[in-house]
Structure 1
């Protein structure tokens, strides 16, 4: 009777262990690893945190620009610069995502660290007074830096999360909406505390809240917002670095990175032994990206058109709307309107996880007009309109994002797993393009509604 040698026993046991580990990882990937989903949720929050922090801190920026000719058009300029630079930076990040030796994980870490530094700079501006022109330039310069970092971050995480599958993409998209709700809720609470605290310390509240007290309230709210945002980004990058050590992450992402020319320590050792050089041949050429882009045009157009309509009116136009109730403070009303829209956006994104609500999107008609008197003299109706604007925005954008990167639901991919992360990255680029076009259109919409030319200062 033959007997296996110790070496054979060891090899046999190693094979069994490998099969067990692979089965465990496969099951986790199918059912969803809660730890990984949670961190992609955090990464989704970090993805849109710079944008949400900027637009939610609009009252602070506008109060710092009081009396300046730059104040009326600041929001439009900030939106155009943010989204315009985003298109250029994201286009480059998308085109090089498959052609660079730098892995998506490294891009995620480095871009998040840059965002921490820039958010911290915004936090510091709340302690220092600048002339309006210098403050205007400083904020826009920080905005440009945030855009570039956020573009690389966005391209990397959308492609990486798509490799894990639908549950992880849903976690990422939900995080993008949840951060908007959290930021706007934080802004509302901090604004309320600032306003109420000031009103109790002044016998002439109506006068103070319109001048110095209003400036102080907006400043305090922005300080809390920027400070907590920086701390959250730090927690996100630490959590992501921890996630990269998990077996499910290595088994899902590492093969893709090695296919694109990146090598592990074992492969590098092997290359030194055989005397071969590592190959950095791009996995994807430009014509292959064009093929994926053309195949997914319906999804990409839906994403682009959705955000063109949204950004044309929100927040550039909606932030100028005032309450019909004079007892409601303007700062609180503005913060509440951000919260209502973002709650709607979160509900719309969550609806995509309910199969019965995944239906075809019908065409919508949008009509704009201007008048000196409110067309709808009701704050409640206005908030309901904002809520449904947010719901439609979240539903359409999430449906297209999840659908375009799904081998199960998108027959246009033809079962090509190597096209999944490319499709997700290209669709994300169309979202940013829609944001840029909508922001540019906001100048014309604002001129039409307000009977003024924003280019005349």
Structure 2
């Protein structure tokens, strides 16, 4: 899949070459018009490929958190019924932090092509296991939870190495293609949540009750299935399993599509030209004695530490309640009480994720308006800390462990809180990142290191927030949050 120039060494090593400089002088005067059209088409295709690869980076995380209704049905009445989402979030974010650190440390000289194709292939195989699980009626909850955690670790590793390789590859093409990756990451959250919402809603529509009552094709009862299934094990409703099947199948197909997009990128003349130009720049770079002094990681970190703490706070607060607490918030309409279809847990939970995805993506776009942009670290620190108000607000909603009427007895109010929560997450985190890269005290050669430091603060905030979700959940259930 890598092709002749599939990234055996790190692109961007030395002086990075953008696609504009690589294309300079490529055409003759008589061919200028035709060549210009060809260039535009190649650039558009390459941009689309990086957009798809960026979406694939967050595909694993979104697959884990959006399929909560299916996982909950599998773990019903088990020890892990109320705590599984905290364990999944903690496992993924901690694994992501560790694997990403290793990927960054070993990036020099790594074969980026193998990292990209290998990571996507691993995601495809892991998602295939989820697809198979939806065709089995009964699975022992303890076995399913163990398999879920193992798959989460594998997906975290795949996402980490994929992110490292794709971002490093985009460095050779210039900032426009890095923006394509970020846009893809924002779009995939909305897309995945939308797919799950549609799949869940269509599976539970009254008009399809007859269809859903017809048994779907099942895996033949084998020795493996007998080992997994027991009479007392929960059996998710056909609608829940069919919805999860459609969801995971779509996720798997998109991962395959991402692999094909990467193969297309490798075959573009633009790709080969940019990589070759980058290698030429590296071979003709200045002697080490005349290069500017290498920036110190510790010195750069000190310059953006206050902004890093603000970034840490944003995602620590977000992960302390999302999805660990939000996945336990149900509609105020009781299940089976004749309420609307969207109030059923299998549909209501994806609605919450959809609202979060749309709000977060919108928040990331808002800083493009200059009048909504500010970079003062004090204001950003206040904005980051102020988001802590969302923790008690979510705890006052209709969680599955609520005793009596909740303080916030309205589905609309809950969704508005979720919208503001996600909007502030995307908006404040984007402003903090912007402030870090334009920090006046940074030298030109320190900007990339500053961005790396901010990414570390972000990932650390995710991991810390996942751990904090356990005591937050304990405040709801008044129980051992680890079980």
Q: TM-score category by the smaller chain? A: 0.7 to 0.9
CA distance in 2, matches of 1:19, 1:132: 60
Give the deviation of 1:54 after TM superposition.
0.9
Q: 1:143 aligns with which of 144, 152, 163?
A: 152
1:348 pairs with 2:334: no
Question: Scaled by the length of structure 2, what TM-score is found?
Answer: 0.74
Distance in 2 (CA, whole Å) between partners of 1:354 and 1:33 is 26
Name the CA shift for 1:421/1:154 in 2 (closer, same or farther; >3 Å).
farther
2:26 corresponds, among 21, 25, 46, to: 21
After superposition, the Cα gap between the structure-2 partners of 1:292 and 1:114, relative to the gap in structure 1 and judged at 3 Å, is farther
| TM-score in terms of structure 1 length | 0.78
1:35-55: CA deviation from partner (whole Å, max 9, x where unpaired): 222222211210111110111
1:353 Cα deviation after fit = 2.8
How many Å apart are 1:337 and its aligned residue? 0.6
CA distance in 2, matches of 1:45, 1:148: 16
Structure 1 segments of 4 or more deviating over 6 A? 22-30, 257-260
Equivalent position to 1:192, from 189, 201, 206: 201
CA-based RMSD? 3.6
Query: What's the counterpart of residue 174 of structure 1?
Result: 183
Superposed CA deviations along residues 58-116 of structure 1, whole A, max 9, x for unmatched, are 1111111112112111111111111111111111111222x3x2243432222112111
Between the aligned partners of 1:134 and 1:213, the Cα distance in structure 2 is 14
Q: How many residues align?
A: 406
Which of residues 239, 244, 249 is equivalent to 2:261?
Answer: 239
Q: Please, which of 43, 65, 72 is the counterpart of residue 53 of structure 2?
A: 43
Instruction: Give the 5 Å matches for 1:202-213.
Output: none
Unmatched 5+ residue regions in structure 1?
A: 1-16, 205-210, 268-282
1:216 correspondence with 2:238: yes
**Stretch of structure 1 that moved more, 230-239 or 364-373:** 364-373
Residue 127 (structure 1) shift: 1.6
Q: Alignment partner for residue 84 of structure 1, among 70, 94, 114? A: 94
Verify: 1:156 aligned to 2:157, yes or no.
Answer: no
Contact 1:301 1:430 in 2 (8 A): yes
Give the corresponding residue for 1:104. Answer: 112
Matched, 1:65 2:80: no
Q: Which residue of structure 1 aligns with residue 288 of structure 2? A: none
Counterparts of 1:26 and 1:429, CA distance in 2: 40
Q: Which residue of 2 aligns with 1:442?
A: 469
Question: Does the 8 A contact of 2:212 with 2:238 survive in 1?
Answer: no
Unmatched 5+ stretches in structure 2: 1-21, 214-232, 285-290, 397-402
Counterpart of 2:237 in 1: which secondary structure?
A: helix
The question of whether the paired residues in 1 share the 8 Å contact of 2:74 and 2:234 is answered with: no
Partner in structure 2 of residue 276 of structure 1: none
Cα distance in 1 between the residues matched to 2:115 and 2:311: 24
CA contact (8 A) 2:139 2:234 kept: no
- Please, which moves more after superposition, 17-26 or 380-389? 17-26
Once the two structures are TM-superposed, the CA of residue 336 in structure 1 deviates from its matched residue by 0.5
In the TM superposition, what whole-angstrom CA distance separates every residue of 1:123-168 from its partner, at most 9, and x where no partner exists? 1111234211111111111111111111111122234335544433
